[in-house]
Amino acid sequence: MSSPLLHATVCCYAFECSSFLTNPITYGYMDGFDSAVQCVTVLYWVCDPQMIARGKNASDLFPAVVKNVACKNIEVKKLVYVYLVRYAEEQQDLALLSISTFQRGLKDPNQLIRASALRVLSSIRVTIIVPIMMLAIKEAASDMSPYVRKTAAHAIPKLYSLDPEQKDCLIEVIEKLLADKTTLVAGSVVMAFEEVCPERIDLIHKNYRKLCNLLIDVEEWGQVVIINMLTRYARTQFLNPNMNEDKEEKEKKKTEATAIVKRKPYVMDPDHRLLLRNTKPLLQSRNAAVVMAVAQLYFHLAPKAEVGVIAKALVRLMRSHSEVQYVVLQNVATMSIKRRGMFEPYLKSFYIRSTDPTQIKVLKLEVLTNLANETNISTILREFQTYIKSNDKDFVAATIQAIGRCATNIGEVRDTCLNGLVQLLSNRDELVVAESVVVIKKLLQMQPEQHSDIIKHMAKLTDNIQVPMARASILWLIGEYCEHVPKIAPDVLRKMAKTFTNEEDIVKLQIINLAAKLYLTNSKQTKLLTQYVLNLAKYDQNYDIRDRARFIRQLIVPTDKSGALSKYAKKLFLALKPAPVLESPFKDRDHFQLGSLSHLLNAKAGGYQVLPDWPEAAPDPSVRNVEVKESVRAVETVTARDRGPLGPSSGEDVKKSEKKSKPRIGSSESESEEDDDSESESSESEEEESEEESEEETKKKKKVGNERLENTRTTDIHTHTHSERRNTHILNCDSQPNTIASVQVFDTICKPAWLYMQFLLNPPLPVSVPQTIIPSGNLKTYELLHRITGEGLSVEYCFSRQPFSPDPHMVAVKIQFTNSATSEAKSLHVEDAKLQSGMRIKEFPEIEVLPAGETISVVMGIDFSCSLMFFVSIQPPVGELMMPIFMTENEFKKEQGEHRNQCMEIKQYGPHFDCHAVVQRVTTAANLSRVPCGSDKECRFAGKTVTSGSLVLVSVVTKEDGAAQLTVNCEKMVIGTMLVKDIHQALTQ
C-alpha cells in the first residue's frame, strides 16, 4: 500500500495537514466515520481515520487531491477519479482544474484512454462544462473505436440529467449511435434513448431489424433494456395477434351474425415474428432479468398459443435467490389470472416449504389459488390443510383467506371448505378462529338458508372469542340472519348488552346494529334491550357510536315527530345484501408492463413508460425498410421523422435541410454493411474493424464535405491519416491551426486563480467601527479579507485596468488595505506566495505601518496562467483577464469572420437598451475597448487575453423589437463561455 499512495501523502503534506500526519498512520477499522468521507478511498490510508471521524470534511482536501489527476500511477489516478467525481459537485470551481487533463485524454491515440477520459469528464456534475461535454460526446459518437462510442452513449444520460436543455442536440447523437451496428454500443445507446427521449419511437424504425438481429450477442444488461423498449415499440407498430380470439369472446355475447361478416384473417407482420423468434433463445439466459424481460415480451406480444413457452423458464427462476423468487412470483401471480393454463403443469413447483420466507409463502399461495380449478382443487385443498397447521400465523391467516377464495370460485367445494373452516373454529389459536369467522361470514352470505346450524355454532363462540373483528363479524351475521335463528338472536343481544361498555368500537357498532335489526323483526322480546343499548351508546365516549345511536333511535323508535324515513326502516336495515366477491389483489395488474417496478408496486413509478394499447390498424410497415437508393432514402428519413405522409416541401429553407442531412448519413452507414455479420461466431479482429470504420468515416466525411463546400477545406478531409482525420472532425469548418489551439482550451485556464497571502497583524484587537470603502470610479472591488475575520484589517482588491509596468504579461491588481482597528497594523507584505509553475506574481513593497483608520492602496502584478487555491483567494472575473486592443470596424469584421463558429451564444434581452448603457455595462464586465462603428444598433468590443494574447471579440446587436443579440468570439472556448455568462448577467441586471 505504501508507495503508490505516498504520492498522495506528499500532496497532503503540501497542504496544511501536517497535523494529520504527525499522528502515526493507523490502519484500523473505521467505525462510525463521517459519511462524506466514505468515498474518499484515497484518503483512507493517508489520513488518520480518527481525524475524519471527528468531522473533518474530506472535501477540504480537494485541491491537493485533484492535483494528482495527472499522476502516472494508475491506482492513484483511479482513486483520484473516484474522489473527483464524488466531490466535484461541492467544489465546482476547483473541479475545473482537472478538465484539461481529460481534454488531453480525449485526443489520446489509445481508445481505452479516450474512453476513460470521456467517462470521467462526463461524470463531473458541473454545469459550466456542459458545452465541453457536449462537444466531447459528439466527437466520441463518431470515434472509430466502438468502445469509445459505447462510452459516449453512456455519457448522454449523464449530460441530460445535468442540463435537460441539451435534449435536442443529444437526440441527434442518439440517432447517430442507434445506427451503429456493433453489439457493444447497442445496449448503451438504447439505455440513453430510454432516459432521454423514450417518446421518440420513430427513431427506432430504421434500426428495428438490426436491433432484433444483434440482440443475442449484446451483453446481458443491454438485452434487458432493448427487450423492454422493443416491447413498447411492437405495441405501437403491430396488430394484436389475439384480436380474433378476443373479438370472438366479445361477440359471442352479442350476435353471431356480425362476427362472420367482419372476420378478417390475421396475418402476423414478419417483423413481429422476427422479434418473437430472436428473443426466444434468451429464455435460456443465466440472467434472471433477461429471462423476465423475454417472458414479459411474450406475455404482451405473442399469440396465445405461443405464450406457454415462458412458463418453464419462469418456474426455473423460482430456484434462484429468494429476492428473485419474490419478483418472479409477483409476475406469475398476475399472469396466472389471465393465462391459467400456462402454469397448471407446474402446480407442484408452487408448493410451500416451511422454510420459505413469509412473503414468498403468501405469494405462492396466491398463485396456487389462481391456479385452482375443478380438477385440481382437491389436491390444492389437501396442501392447504397442511399449511393450516403451520406455526407462522400470518401465513395461516392467508391460507384461510385462500380457502375462502377457492370456495367462492368453485361451487362444488364450497360445502367442503365451509366444513373445514367450521372445524377451525375450535382451533386454539384465536387469530386462526377470527380469520375463519371472517371468511365464513363471507361464504355464508352466498347461501344463508342452508346454514343456520353454522350460525348457531358461531353464536356460541361469542362467549369465548375475543378478537374484535371476529366478534363484529359474528354479530353482523346473527343480525343479518336473525330470522333463521329466532331463538338465539335475542339471547346474544342480552349477553352483549351486559358487556357493551367493555367492547371495542367496531363491536359496539355491530351491537347497535344487531339491536336495531332485532327491534324491527322481534320487537316484543327486544324492545327493552334495544332501549338499554341505545341509552348506553348515547353516553359513549366515541362520537361515532353516539351518532349512530341517535340516528338509529330516530329511525326505528316510533315517536310523534318521527319523519318519513321510519316507515322504510325495515327496508333500510334488512335489505338483501349482495355477496362479496373475493378477488385476487393481482387482478388487472397487467396494465402495467410486467417485470417493471411499477407492476411490482402496483403504482406508477417515476419515469415509467405506459405500455400502449394495440393500434386498431397497423401503421405503415415500410418505415422499417432500409433502402439502398440515395434519393429515395432522403425522403424516407424525413417521413419517418415527421410521421407525415409526405416528404418535405420544396420550399424548405437551407438550414433545415442541412440539419436533416445528418440522419441520412447515419442510416447509409448501416445499410452499406447490412450483411448480417452478427451471426458469425468468430471474433473480428480490432484492426479490421477499425480500418473498415475509418473508411466509412472518410466516406461520410466526403459527403459532409460536399454539402458544406463553402465552409470546409475539403482537401484536408479526403486524407486517410489518423491525426488529420481527427482534427477535421472536431470543427467541421475551421482551419487547421485554430483547431489545435481550441483543443488546448484548458491548458491555460484563467479563471479561477488563487493566491495565497499571509498577513502579519500586530497586535490584533477586535473592533467594530463600520466603514465603507467607495470603489474608485467604475471599478468593481472584491473582498479578500473581511474586517471581522481580519480582526480589524480589511483587504479589498480591484483590477485597475492599467498596464502593469514592470511586466506587460501580468494583470495589475490593486489591493486596498483598510485598518479599522484601534491600533496600527505593521509590516504588511506577501509572504511565501506558493505558486504553481507557470503562474507568477510581482509582489508589492512591504507596508511598514498602517495606522488605525487609514486606508492604503498598492498595486501588484499577477500572471494568472494556472494556479491553485490557498487560504485567501483573488478570483478574477473572466472579463479582467484580457486587455483592450484597438481595432477598426473592418478589422473587427474580418477577425470575426475567421472565428465565426468557435463560440457564439445568442441571448435575448429586454427592450430597454440604448447604446450608451450597453457600452457602459460591457466595459464594466470586461476589460475591452470599444470598436468604433457607424450604426448605433450595434456595439462592438475588442480585446485580447493578457497571458496568451488570443483575440476576444464581443458584439451586441440591438434588434428592431427591442431584443438584443450577444456574440462572443474567442478561440478559448472556456473563456468565451464564461464571458458570455458574465456579460449577459451585466446586461440583464
Q: How many CB atoms neighbour CB 976 within 10 A?
A: 26
CB of 8 to another protein, least distance (A): 12
Torsion angle (degrees, nearest 10) of CA 802, 804, 809, 810: -90
Q: Which is nearer to another protein, 75 or 251 (CB)?
A: 75
Q: Which is nearer to another protein, 294 or 755 (CB)?
A: 294
Tell me the C-alpha distance between 347 and 327, whole Å.
18
Interface pick for another protein out of 174, 178, 291, 922 (rule CB under 8 A):
291
CB of 685 to another protein, least distance (A): 9
Interface pick for another protein out of 53, 86, 503, 716 (rule CB under 8 A):
86
Q: How many CB atoms neighbour CB 153 within 10 A?
A: 27
Q: Which is nearer to another protein, 2 or 768 (CB)?
A: 2
Residues 316-335 contacting another protein, CB under 8 A? 316, 319, 321-324, 326-328
Confirm or reject binding of residue 608 to another protein (CB under 8 A).
yes
Residues 395-414 contacting another protein, CB under 8 A? none
Q: With contacts defined by CB under 8 A, name the span among 343-351, 617-625, 764-772, 876-884 that binds another protein.
A: 343-351
Residues 199-238 contacting another protein, CB under 8 A? 216-217, 219-221, 224, 228
Task: Specify the DSSP element, H or E, that contains 941.
Answer: strand 938-945
Confirm or reject binding of residue 279 to another protein (CB under 8 A).
no
Confirm or reject binding of residue 284 to another protein (CB under 8 A).
yes
Tell me the C-alpha distance between 796 and 773, whole Å.
9
CB of 39 to another protein, least distance (A): 7
CB of 740 to another protein, least distance (A): 26
Q: Which is nearer to another protein, 596 or 748 (CB)?
A: 596
Task: Specify the DSSP element, H or E, that contains 795.
Answer: strand 793-799
CB of 642 to another protein, least distance (A): 29
Interface pick for another protein out of 213, 287, 522, 531 (rule CB under 8 A):
287
CB of 126 to another protein, least distance (A): 12
Confirm or reject binding of residue 852 to another protein (CB under 8 A).
no
Among 67, 296, 144, 270, which residue's Cα sits nearest to residue 726? 144
Pull the grid cell for residue 974: 472556456
Pull the grid cell for residue 135: 462537444
Q: Which is nearer to another protein, 560 or 675 (CB)?
A: 675
Q: Which is nearer to another protein, 658 or 686 (CB)?
A: 686
Residues 744-803 contacting another protein, CB under 8 A? none
Confirm or reject binding of residue 430 to another protein (CB under 8 A).
no
Q: Which is nearer to another protein, 37 or 866 (CB)?
A: 37
Q: Which is nearer to another protein, 680 or 762 (CB)?
A: 680
Residues 458-477 contacting another protein, CB under 8 A? none
Interface pick for another protein out of 243, 601, 765, 779 (rule CB under 8 A):
601
CB 66 within 8 A of CB 95: yes
- The set of residues, in sequence order, having a beta carbon less than 8 Å from that of 868 and lying 6+ positions away, is 63, 67, 97, 754, 834, 836
Q: Which is nearer to another protein, 599 or 972 (CB)?
A: 599
Residues 677-736 contacting another protein, CB under 8 A? 681, 683-684, 686
Interface pick for another protein out of 57, 213, 236, 390 (rule CB under 8 A):
390
Q: Which is nearer to another protein, 25 or 730 (CB)?
A: 25
Instruction: Transcribe 139-202 into DSSP letters.
Output: HHHT-SSHHHHHHHHHHHHHHHHH-GGGHHHHHHHHHHHHT---HHHHHHHHHHHHHH-TT-GG
Confirm or reject binding of residue 26 to another protein (CB under 8 A).
no
Q: Which is nearer to another protein, 74 or 257 (CB)?
A: 74
Interface pick for another protein out of 270, 357, 932, 949 (rule CB under 8 A):
357
Q: Which is nearer to another protein, 45 or 532 (CB)?
A: 45
Confirm or reject binding of residue 161 to another protein (CB under 8 A).
yes
CB of 122 to another protein, least distance (A): 8
Confirm or reject binding of residue 66 to another protein (CB under 8 A).
no
Residues 172-201 contacting another protein, CB under 8 A? 183-184, 188, 191
CB 309 within 8 A of CB 299: no
Q: With contacts defined by CB under 8 A, name the span among 286-294, 532-540, 766-774, 973-981 that binds another protein.
A: 286-294
Residues 35-54 contacting another protein, CB under 8 A? 35, 38-39, 41, 44-45
Residue whose entry in the numeric block shows the C-alpha cell 356480425: 258
Q: How far is residue 804 from each of residues 650, 835, 838, 981, measured CA to CA in Å?
A: 60, 19, 18, 27
CA atoms within 13 Å, Cβ hemisphere of 606: 1
Pull the grid cell for residue 369: 389459488
CB of 171 to another protein, least distance (A): 18
Q: Is the peptide bond before 612 cis (omega within 30 degrees of 0)?
A: no
CB of 4 to another protein, least distance (A): 5
Q: How far is residue 780 from each of residues 355, 361, 547, 913, 954, measured CA to CA in Å?
A: 75, 72, 74, 22, 20
Angle 350-354-360 from CA coordinates, rounded to 5°: 50
Residues 923-982 contacting another protein, CB under 8 A? none
Q: With contacts defined by CB under 8 A, name the span among 118-126, 575-583, 775-783, 804-812 that binds another protein.
A: 118-126
CB 218 within 8 A of CB 210: no
CB of 376 to another protein, least distance (A): 14
Interface pick for another protein out of 607, 775, 806, 911 (rule CB under 8 A):
607
CA atoms within 13 Å, Cβ hemisphere of 663: 28
Q: Which is nearer to another protein, 3 or 649 (CB)?
A: 3
Confirm or reject binding of residue 163 to another protein (CB under 8 A).
no
Q: With contacts defined by CB under 8 A, name the span among 356-364, 658-666, 856-864, 904-912 that binds another protein.
A: 356-364
Q: Which is nearer to another protein, 33 or 804 (CB)?
A: 33
Angle 100-104-106 from CA coordinates, rounded to 5°: 115
Q: With contacts defined by CB under 8 A, name the span among 31-39, 440-448, 632-640, 894-902 that binds another protein.
A: 31-39
- The set of residues, in sequence order, having a beta carbon less than 8 Å from that of 64 and lying 6+ positions away, is 11, 12, 14, 15
Annotate 440-473 with b (16+ C-beta within 10 A) or e (fewer): bbbbbbbebeebbebbeebbebbeebebbebbbb
Angle 822-826-829 from CA coordinates, rounded to 5°: 130
CB of 596 to another protein, least distance (A): 6
Confirm or reject binding of residue 385 to another protein (CB under 8 A).
no
CB of 33 to another protein, least distance (A): 10
Amino acid identity of 662? Answer: K
Q: Alpha helices of 708-791 — where are they, by DSSP H?
A: 714-717, 722-730, 736-743
Confirm or reject binding of residue 73 to another protein (CB under 8 A).
yes
Confirm or reject binding of residue 591 to another protein (CB under 8 A).
no
Interface pick for another protein out of 186, 204, 293, 425 (rule CB under 8 A):
293
Confirm or reject binding of residue 147 to another protein (CB under 8 A).
yes
Tell me the C-alpha distance between 527 and 515, whole Å.
9
Dihedral sign for Cα atoms in the order 537, 542, 548, 554: positive
Residue 798 pairs in a beta bridge with 781, 814
Residue 857 pairs in a beta bridge with 816
Q: Which is nearer to another protein, 86 or 247 (CB)?
A: 86
Pull the grid cell for residue 96: 475545473
Q: E-strand spans in 820-865?
A: 825-828, 840-842, 847-850, 855-863
Number of residues interacting with another protein: please give it, by CB under 8 A. 104
Annotate 606-626 with b (16+ C-beta within 10 A) or e (fewer): eebbebeebeeeeeeeebbeb
CB 176 within 8 A of CB 148: no
